[in-house]
Structure 1
Amino acid sequence: MSVQPQPWPDPDPEIAAAIRGMYSGRREVPLAVRFRDRFGELFADDQFAVAFGQRGKPGWSPGRLALVTVLQKAENLTDRQAAEAVRTSLTWKYALGLDLKDPGFDHSVLSEFRSRVVTHGLEEKVLDLLLAELVRQGLLETGGKQRTDSTHVISAVRDLSQLDLAGEAVRAALEALVCAAPHWVEQVIDVPSWSRRYGDRIPGWHTPASQAKRARLALALDFGRDGFALLTAVHASTSPAWLRELPAVQVLRCVLVQSYTRTLSGSGREVVKRREAKVDGLPPGHRRLTSPYDTDARRSVKGDTMWNGFKIHISETCQAPEPAAVGNNAGPGQGGHSRVPRPNLVTNVTTTDATVPDNAMLDPIHQVLQRRRLLPGDHYLDSGYASAELIVGSLKRFGVALVIPMLDDQSRQGRAKEGFATHDFRIDWPGRQAVCPAGQTSTTWSPCLQAGVAKTVVTFSTRDCGPCPLRPKCTTSKLGRRQLALQPQEMHEALQGARAQQETKEWKHNYALRAGVEGTIHQATAVTGIRRARYHGLRKTHLDHVYSAVALNLIRLDAWWNGHPLDRTRTSHLTRLELSLAA
């Protein structure tokens, strides 16, 4: 498929006249029409041209396909429904510059477009273009306040037990081998017997409770022996070398390694056993495959939520409602004045596998925001992103102050909320010593590494701690003395300062602004369905999240342009009437 970048055609005059007639007076024009009128050719073809060839059959405009994908997310449509909307919806034809008789395209074009965008690393292009235009229009700027939170994303594959995973891995490899080399397969396996076991998807094992454990073990060993036999045949010297490079064969190898052990008995016979975590060990969670059909999905737990898939981090601007707004803050048709504040807009979405902790993603998020010149001055986050290193590093590297609740002191005294925790000791950094609440001075100051992290271990003398009347509140150590493990001075002081500050009413009132990101996650889930991946693989799932973010921004901008106040939950009809009159 080839693409020659072309300017978008102007909206068809006949369609434009029909829309003006249908949406005259106080009727609000649809989002697609509003987008074309406000942004014009925002997603130009040349922004996506690198993903398409210069020769071959001419393809559909990639810029307009990008807009179709955004509108598809805004209305939560399937590919078939989106392609049908291009053919039949006047508002979509207006936005795309099509005439009434334009037949549109086959729905499979959207899938090919997404594949090409992912292959050439253009997943975030549409969000970059929209945010750059909003910066130009004065709706976004560096500094200010932003908030970020994460939520789980369930993969688009069936959740498999370890038993089902082994069987499906063998089945997937067989399917790939039969497609690639059917004659080779019929020579190395008994096709009828293997077909009875692997012809259909592994349905799960349902046996009476009295027989379940023994039956599952027998079936698991059968899957393991079959898998190893298949890999042995693939790696035989007489087999084509390219067979072992098939992705499904590589997945089978990984699943067998993480699920089974293979040893030789005293008689030289090969013995296949299920891998036991306590005896044989298991791969770390971020490397453990959960499906042969989506090798990026991972299983994770957060609180009482268990899922298999991914995680999305959403960042958006935020500000407290203003009593009045002037100039750029005013919505259209308000005479330059409006009580509707600027909309909170999504500035970044990051997608990871489910095992990546939240605090590991804060620096990458700041790096992307820095590239877009949208770094906030204050960044509101929950405790999942909290660490002393991030508080100091974000301010030093990016100039971003984190508004974040720090976890309590994890020492025994800190967890129990009684006795003397680390913050009760006075640290003399220049003198390299600490003073306890009883006035005793530490005797040793020992820099070291604990789990790869720089710490300083401060120890008090047994002669001082032994007879101290405050000892029961300070330590129960069998050595009869207190020890402290201190972070480097800058981080220690930042941590203690943050813990003290978050106890004040002013900080709690200010931090309440973070709660609004929960509403954004709910809107993204309700409108675009981000909690369930539509596609296989991390990169395509991230592509879906980026287009969802653009769709959310356009929905919010459309509401702002029309003068709609920010929605509030649990409000009466009378309160809503009051809000509409105030706007």
Structure 2
Amino acid sequence: MDADWAKRYGRPVRLASQPSHPAARLKQAGADAYRFLDRLPPTARGPRVEALRQIIVQNFLIDTRGCLRPRADKDGQPRGALRIVSPYDIEARRAIRGDTRWSGYLVHVTETCDSDDSVHLITDVATTGPTRDSQALPGIHKRLHARRLLPAEHLVDGGYTSAALLDRSARDHQIQLFGPVKASGSWQEKQQTGFTREAFSIDFDRRRVTCPNGETSERWFEPPAMAPYTVVRFAARQCDPCPDRSLCAKGTSARTVNFLPRHLHELQARNRTDQHNPQWQRRCAARSGVEGTICEFVNGHRARRGRYHGVAKTHVQHVLTAIAINLERLATHAPPATEHPRSLTAFQLYLDARGLTWESWWRQGK
């Protein structure tokens, strides 16, 4: 401990929105933290020390001259799922959904939607890090199965669906998953022009693909790096003279088509076809009610603000919030309570048996 250290950290550090000399202060803080870790004895290691070490590694590096400096974009940054964003909650991560950005967790809510007259109750609440929504679905089904609350039909939005999840839900839990499967991310699909994958005819038995102009592919292989996708490539001599080349491939490369195994490919194609069916759309529209539940979580119970640190305690907050919402809904839909007259006491029955009168302002019929 020296005078400079005591001056910097003798009081709580508060940084304004526009601190003075931010680069110098950041570099000084990193150097102090690195010095602090270097002076600690091996017996002083613990969760807080390990968190500080990870923060130093993720935000600073030692260059070739042996100097500690903050990491820049060119130095590489850890992925969002690994990067610590708060020293007070080392499990929290930075999340992005559309234009919304925050540091913390995600909450996934499942509720009943049998009919408009029944009470819609929350049956499962999952608290996760900022991962893909589809990764939370198997755990939701597992918990619902343990509670004997698995639905025959599970309505979800596009973030929870994929061809693999449609197949897995039906195979493992006999659940029909209702939700739109996302379209392919090809430039033809985005620009709504050219030949998408659906324009090609796939013959799984003969292991070949035919393009809209009748050309048959020559190469069919399943690279491990792209599993479980199958890759089919056309030859340059087939694509170069094609009059519709600009609608099919860009640059000088020939057309490549990627698709899932046969049973998943057919399931994916069938789901995308059903999405245009008005009956399917009306059935899946019932899922929109859960958006009101999310709004009730956020606006009615301030669930967007975590009261605790750590995913375990935050999950307890979400579960208690769901219980409160269920109690409110049950109380709202409960039938009006009927008034039951008080029963007579033994002394009042004794008086009645002998024909003696007594005041009973509360008694019916008196």
- Normalising to structure 2: TM-score of the pair? 0.86
C-alpha distance in 2 between matches for 1:207 and 1:550: 42
Please name the residue that 2:84 is paired with.
289
Aligned pairs for 1:456-467 within 5 A: 456-467=230-241
> Which of the pair has the greater relative contact order for Cα pairs under 8 Å at 6+ separation?
1
* Paired letter, 1:532: R
1:427 aligns with 2:202: yes
C-alpha distance in 2 between matches for 1:205 and 1:500: 55
SS in 2 for 1:197: helix
C-alpha distance in 1 between matches for 2:99 and 2:269: 30
Deviation at 1:377, TM superposition (A): 1.4
Please name the residue that 1:399 is paired with.
174
C-alpha distance in 2 between matches for 1:207 and 1:535: 28
* Paired letter, 1:219: R
1:366 aligns with 2:141: yes
Please name the residue that 1:309 is paired with.
104
SS in 1 for 2:115: coil
Please name the residue that 1:438 is paired with.
213
Please name the residue that 1:225 is paired with.
31
* Paired letter, 2:30: G
Please name the residue that 2:276 is paired with.
503
Q: Deviations over 1:22-60 (max 9, x none)?
A: xxxxxxxxxxxxxxxxxxxxxxxxxxxxxxxxxxxxxxx
Please name the residue that 1:522 is paired with.
295
Deviation at 1:423, TM superposition (A): 0.7
* Paired letter, 1:546: V
1:473 aligns with 2:247: yes
Q: Deviations over 1:278-336 (max 9, x none)?
A: 2x212221121111111111111110001011110000011332xxxxxxxxxxxxxxx
* Paired letter, 1:502: Q
Equivalent residue for 2:123, pick from 331, 347, 354: 347
Equivalent residue for 2:44, pick from 228, 235, 243: 243
SS in 1 for 2:103: strand
Deviation at 1:489, TM superposition (A): 1.2
CA 1:483–1:219: 2 relative to 1, 3 Å: same
CA 1:380–1:264: 2 relative to 1, 3 Å: same
1:197 aligns with 2:8: yes
C-alpha distance in 1 between matches for 2:323 and 2:316: 11
**Which aligned runs of 4 or more in structure 1 are off by greater than 6 angstroms?**
none
C-alpha distance in 1 between matches for 2:45 and 2:241: 71
CA 1:562–1:531: 2 relative to 1, 3 Å: farther
* Paired letter, 1:522: C
Stretch of structure 1 that moved more, 224-233 or 435-444: 435-444
Q: Deviations over 1:341-389 (max 9, x none)?
A: 2201111000012x21111111111111111111111111111112211
C-alpha distance in 2 between matches for 1:297 and 1:412: 35
SS in 2 for 1:286: coil
State the Cα RMSD in Å: 2.0
Please name the residue that 1:381 is paired with.
156
1:276 aligns with 2:69: no
1:260 aligns with 2:60: yes
Deviation at 1:263, TM superposition (A): 4.2
* Paired letter, 2:300: V
Aligned pairs for 1:21-32 within 5 A: none
- Normalising to structure 1: TM-score of the pair? 0.55
Equivalent residue for 2:331, pick from 533, 558, 575: 558
Q: Is the 8 A contact 1:320 1:513 kept in 2?
A: no
Q: Is the 8 A contact 1:366 1:375 kept in 2?
A: yes
C-alpha distance in 1 between matches for 2:90 and 2:108: 21
| Paired positions, count | 337
Gaps of 5+ in 1: 1-188, 236-240, 322-340, 564-583
Q: Deviations over 1:191-217 (max 9, x none)?
A: x53333223332214558xxx5xx211
Please name the residue that 1:414 is paired with.
189
C-alpha distance in 2 between matches for 1:308 and 1:224: 22
C-alpha distance in 2 between matches for 1:418 and 1:244: 60
Aligned pairs for 1:3-22 within 5 A: none
C-alpha distance in 1 between matches for 2:283 and 2:317: 33
SS in 2 for 1:287: coil
Identity percentage of aligned residues: 36
**Larger Rg, first or second structure (1 or 2):** 2
